[in-house]
Amino acid sequence: MTGSPILTQMPKVGRSLDRRTAREVIADKLMVLVATNMLRPGDELPGERELANVLHVSRETVRGAIQTLAARGIIEVSQGSRSRVADVDLSDVTVTIASPNAIDSYDLEDVHAARLHIELKVVGDAADKIDTDALKKLESLLEAQKLCGDDAMRFLICDREFHVAIYRACGNPLLSDFVTDLYTYMMDYRRSAMSRPGAIEASYRDHSEIVEALRRHDREAVVAAFHQHLMRIYRTTKELLVDGSGRKQKQKGTRNPE
């Protein structure tokens, strides 16, 4: 499994991939999901088959990764029941370049502006360079997203894989790592946003349009579809950052308080 293309597209988490096993790569990916609040303490992990399908590895690799995280106290494994996320603080774990704590300390407007400025360039380059293997992966992830129903956590696991696959296709590892860090912004709010009625369906439609444009290598259409997607993310996140009286909720450690 260590030679498969999917493993060369995983976030590095500060270490070289070429000396790491598939189990270690997937363990780090699951740890990142916990560090970014996509998986929260007490959450049951999806089943091994489901994770293997989304992460494009064998069930044995997923099982080994979970055992690795259990030994580190990040996952709790109980006989006869689903594995659960332990009550751990991984906010200082580096995702690609920065920790989620570092990204979350910025103001929403600044992060949104950065995504529009950089991410649209990255996905435009991906439209020019994406290959058949990456397109097949995206199509597989779209199918997996269909099976998520209204489960925001499961959808977001697929969503992250979807976004990172596109970022990696741009051909510039530094830019792809940087926009991956931007993607993690306020992930706890994203999960709440995706729990709203119709949110998963709307995101899936966006993803379908993006993949169709990528198939055609239509840079303009990919950028337009991604712009629409980023605007949706911005609006729904902003709504959750504002309380019932219209005042922006205080963000812990924000660099630009209002």
pLDDT in tens, 88-138: 988 888 888 998 889 999 999 999 999 999 999 999 999 999 999 999 999
Residue 130 tokens, joined: 């994406």
Query: Domain spans of the chain?
Result: 22-85, 100-249
The dotted CATH code for 22-85 is 1.10.10.10
Confidence (pLDDT) at 20: 77
CB neighbourhood size of 3 (10 A): 7
pLDDT at 5: 40
Token reading at 213: 């444009």
Write down the pLDDT at residue 19: 62
What is the second-level CATH architecture of the domain 100-249?
Up-down Bundle (1.20)
What local confidence, expressed as pLDDT, does residue 8 receive?
Answer: 38
Q: Distance between CA atoms of 242 and 13, rounded to whole angstroms? A: 32
**Residue of 154, 167, 168, 37 whose CA lies nearest to 115:** 167
Report pLDDT for 248.
45
* Cβ count near 100 (within 10 Å): 24
pLDDT tens series, the chain, 258 aa: 444 443 334 444 444 444 678 999 999 999 999 999 899 999 999 999 999 999 989 999 999 999 999 999 999 998 878 899 999 988 888 888 998 889 999 999 999 999 999 999 999 999 999 999 999 999 999 999 999 999 999 999 999 999 999 999 999 999 999 999 999 999 989 999 999 999 999 999 999 999 999 999 999 999 999 999 999 999 999 998 885 334 444 444 444 433
Helices H / strands E in the chain, number of each: 12, 2
SS3 category, 130: coil
DSSP 44: B
Report pLDDT for 100: 87
Same fold, 22-85 and 100-249: no
Collapsed DSSP state (helix, strand, coil) of residue 85 = strand
Q: 2 in helix, strand or coil?
A: coil
| Model pLDDT, residue 243 | 53
